[in-house]
Structure 1
Amino acid sequence: MCRLPARALLVALLLSACASPSPEFFGASKTAVTIDGRAFTVFRRDNRVQVIRHGYAAPAAQRGIPEQMLRAVAEATGCRPLGDSFIGDSGERRGRISC
């Protein structure tokens, strides 16, 4: 059994509470997803989504994050993300889905 130090547990809890949607997604459905060990929160309103990455990502790891974000959207919604519609960076992106 793995035990985290109290400080690490507190930091993890605080980071998990940081996913707040942009105003256009207030009241949207919220789904937590883990892709390749990286945590994301996906907010969905109709055919629009916002995906937020949790935790630190080293510069070398950021290249693959947009694809992980699209996979997180697909898993959270069961719909196909329209990749060309997504704007943002490796921390937060918004776009459309097709169901």
Structure 2
Amino acid sequence: MKRFYWLIIPAVILLTGCDSPHPRFARVEAQKVTVDGSTFKIRIRDGYAEAIRTNFERLPKIGDTFPKAAKAIEIASGCKVIPNSMKGDPALMVAKLDCK
């Protein structure tokens, strides 16, 4: 059992980083939004939004996750996501906003 103690600290460090924002959004309060079963933490700053998916999904696909994240961002920000501006992966996405 003592041999496995060295695994605990790296595991804790990895798990604490799961919901950490990009440094650009570091001090921005997150809004929790759920869309079609996917839960996101949304942070908005300077015309950009970051969406971090916080729930477990088995084999999430970008084609399914991006539209949900865009809708969550629009709900949280009150702005439209600029078409084709979303980048990232099924866990963390960043989009440019049109807040006219």
TM-score (norm 1): 0.74
Q: CA deviation at 1:80?
A: 0.1
Q: Matched residues in 1 for 2:58 and 2:37: separation?
A: 14
The reply on whether 1:44 has 2:47 as its aligned counterpart is: no
Larger Rg: 2
Unaligned 5+ segments in structure 1 are 1-14
Q: Matched residues in 2 for 1:71 and 1:65: separation?
A: 10
Ranges of 4+ aligned residues in structure 1 off by more than 3 Å:
none
Q: Percent identity?
A: 28
Q: Matched residues in 2 for 1:35 and 1:77: separation?
A: 14
The amino acid across from 1:86 in the alignment is M
Q: CA deviation at 1:28?
A: 2.0
Structural mapping, 1:1-99, within 5 Å: 18-59=18-59, 61-62=60-61, 63-99=63-99
Give the count of matched residue pairs. Answer: 83
RMSD: 1.9
The amino acid across from 2:40 in the alignment is F
Asked whether the 8 Å contact 1:29–1:45 carries over to 2, the reply is no
The amino acid across from 1:30 in the alignment is A
Q: Matched residues in 1 for 2:82 and 2:29: separation?
A: 19
